[in-house]
Amino acid sequence: MSARILVVDDIEANVRLLEAKLTAEYYEVLTASDGPTALAMAAAERPDIVLLDVMMPGMDGFSVCRRLKDDPETRHVPVVLVTALDGRADRVAGLEAGADDFLTKPIDDVMLLARVRSLTRLKAVIDELREREASGRRMGVIAGAASRLGGSGGRILIIDDNVRQAQRVCTELAIEHRPVIETDYDKALLSARGPVDLAIVNAGAKAFDGLRFCAQLRSDEATRGLPILAVVDFDERQRVVKALEIGVNDILARPIDPGELAARAKTQIRRKRYTEYLRNNLDHSLELAVTDQLTGLHNRRYMQGQLEALMRRAAAGGDPVALLVIDIDHFKRINDSFGHDVGDEVLREFAVRLASNVRAIDLPVRHGGEEFVVVMPDTSLEDARRIAERIRLHVAGSPFRVMGGEELLSVTISIGVAAGAGGEDSSQALLKRADEAVYEAKSRGRNRVIARAA
């Protein structure tokens, strides 16, 4: 997977070395020699990853990282700080500034590429969700802001057979989070499927294979998006690389530094919440796009796609398709006499009665206003007419309770029925016949079913 990588360093030789290594792996490389230029390029070029030197004159890497993470347009871009420093205070400072990881000079090529590949996968997922969310915003079906999402109060599962180490981690995290320790492999897999924000796994566990556990989390759909923080001895270079390759989100070096643990946990939880925010907004926007919000039935847009697919199948020799077009009689009179709130109550109650009187394979739809449609796969004209009559009798036979049960309204409906078996028939022609039939039903006194053959 290729990516655009912004390399920021005030020393030309360092920039050229990183550029050569990354270009050889088919990454597109952008370069900057100072903090202000890096910020401008990040905003204009939208890189996938920023490799950022810490020690730069003027604006250092910590300040640049903080500015990138404070900007809504760039806060989702992974930042890797590149430094000759290897002290605890510098790592914690970088993590608190929003950095995703560190690379220590001289840079290990294998570690560099493993980390870049890992962050590229993460960025690709977030980019897709952001793009879909942006489409939802343009449609007007997504609102809200992700800036309020924090990284505290997380539900953390600690998977470790080293009880003393696990307890130390648990005690440190309990200051801000809700950690739970699990030492059994199978029980931990089950627990991870629950409401968990972060899994911290001892990759060097003796009682079980920690990396295999991480791989199973990634292969299970229920836990695929769960962030994993692997505890690894950094001198076990091959294990670190393997952990990143199988999808571990972050690495924590042993012996564990409490400040670094807290900072890395907070970063992963914040990112998970941001991803969930995007994904939930996407699910909500898709639901709004195909659902009528008043009645809960599918809407006209969804119906058109389903009906056209069924008609194509019928035209290719598949089962016939029937259609009911239903109009609530004298609905304007209800609105004029009782108000639109009562009219909405009638629409909602009718939707419930309609949905409870059709088959599981049928598709009840609010077509618009007081008009409803039922798409009926594998249904003949006569069968559809019988079902329509059952719906009509159910509606007319029991008054609608409105205004908190204070009023009873007698409601009737007129139904037009049509069926098509393919050939020259189209979804538009089928809908037109059913529409003409409902108009005939209304002209003949309402509260009746009229069926129209092709």
Positions marked catalytic: 370
Indicate the pairing of strand 79-83 with strand 371-377.
Answer: unpaired
Tokens of 123: 């960025």
Q: Which single residue is written with the structure tokens 């419930």? A: 352
Strand-pair partners of 230: 201, 251
3-state helix, strand, coil in the chain (%, to 5): 50, 20, 30
Give every CB contact of residue 35 below 8 A, 6+ residues apart in sequence. Answer: 8, 56, 58, 59, 60, 61, 63, 64, 67
User: What is the DSSP annotation of 420-434?
Assistant: E-STT--HHHHHHHH
**Burial grade of 72 (CB within 10 A; 0-12, 13-18, 19 or more):** exposed
Q: Which of 47, 62, 130, 49 is nearest to 96 (CA)?
A: 62
Measured distance CA(146)–CA(299) in Å, rounded:
29
Instruction: Please tell me the number of Cα atoms within 13 Å of 161 on its side-chain side.
Output: 12
User: What is the DSSP annotation of 221-281?
Assistant: TTTTT--EEEEE-TT-HHHHHHHHHTT--EEEESSPPHHHHHHHHHHHHHHHHHHHHHHHH
Which amino acid would we find at residue 386?
Answer: R
Q: Which of 269, 241, 235 is nearest to 254 (CA)?
A: 235
The H-or-E segment that residue 285 falls in is helix 258-290
Tokens of 225: 């998006």
Measured distance CA(52)–CA(55) in Å, rounded:
9
Instruction: Please tell me the number of Cα atoms within 13 Å of 71 on its side-chain side.
Output: 16
CA 268 to chain centre: 17
Measured distance CA(145)–CA(137) in Å, rounded:
11
- CA torsion 21→24→29→35, rounded to 10°? 0
Measured distance CA(217)–CA(204) in Å, rounded:
17
| ∠ CA 328-307-348, rounded to 5° | 30
